[in-house]
Chains A and B, each alone.
Chain A
């Protein structure tokens, strides 16, 4: 059974304090790894897709990387507006996206 596990469940950072979120996946034949951002009262918002190990994608202060077993979302010099829940999801081609439970990020000014 395909599984996605995210850690930590919650992360509290000071503004400017860089860190990484982890997404471990057990998927037979990964065909895509997706990152989403979810703000309170909103639906998840698509950020990145990664397709193969070694691939990296960047958007402002966020950079997503992928290995054969996990993906990281690196946040460089975060700002309070980066506070949100970050979700990752894996796609194997056999089933639709399998989501992790997310990491709740709080950035304190």
Chain B
């Protein structure tokens, strides 16, 4: 079975540029989560969706961050404009329902120069 698929795996761009991260959750999973991981802060939840609807975006650091889930098989996390402090690994995860084990993709390593 295919797991959670994220793209790109690596992204290097200059500050001020728009960055779009993509995620395909596991088929049949109704909950989707976006996380950011850094050495200092660990794994931080940015936003999560239930049945394609954003439920809690209180973890989104600033208005520069936005996320969408136009259908059950695709989600995007966008940063515009990007800043060097946004450099981190961004993970997408999905679960059958909230509260059940989440399955993670292998992440996007983002470097903003």
| B29-88 CB contacts (< 8 Å) to partner A | 31, 33, 41-43, 45, 48, 56
Q: Which residue of A lies closest to B105 (CB)?
A: A43
Q: Which residue of A lies closest to B109 (CB)?
A: A41
Contact-residue size bin, chain B (C-beta under 8 Å from the other chain): 20 to 34
B19 touches A (CB below 8 Å): no
Per DSSP, chain B at the interface is strand
Q: Which residue of B lies closest to A97 (CB)?
A: B102
* Other-chain residue from A36, A44, A96, A102 in contact with B56 (beta carbon distance below 8 A): A96
Contact-residue size bin, chain A (C-beta under 8 Å from the other chain): 20 to 34
B21 touches A (CB below 8 Å): no
Q: Is the CB of B48 within 8 A of A99?
A: no
With a CB–CB cut-off of 8 A, which chain B residues contact A95? 56
Q: Is the CB of B33 within 8 A of A99?
A: no
B110 touches A (CB below 8 Å): no
* Other-chain residue from A34, A36, A87, A96 in contact with B33 (beta carbon distance below 8 A): A96
Give me the interface of A with B, judged by CB distance under 8 Å: 31-32, 34, 36, 41-46, 49, 87, 91, 93, 95-97, 99-102
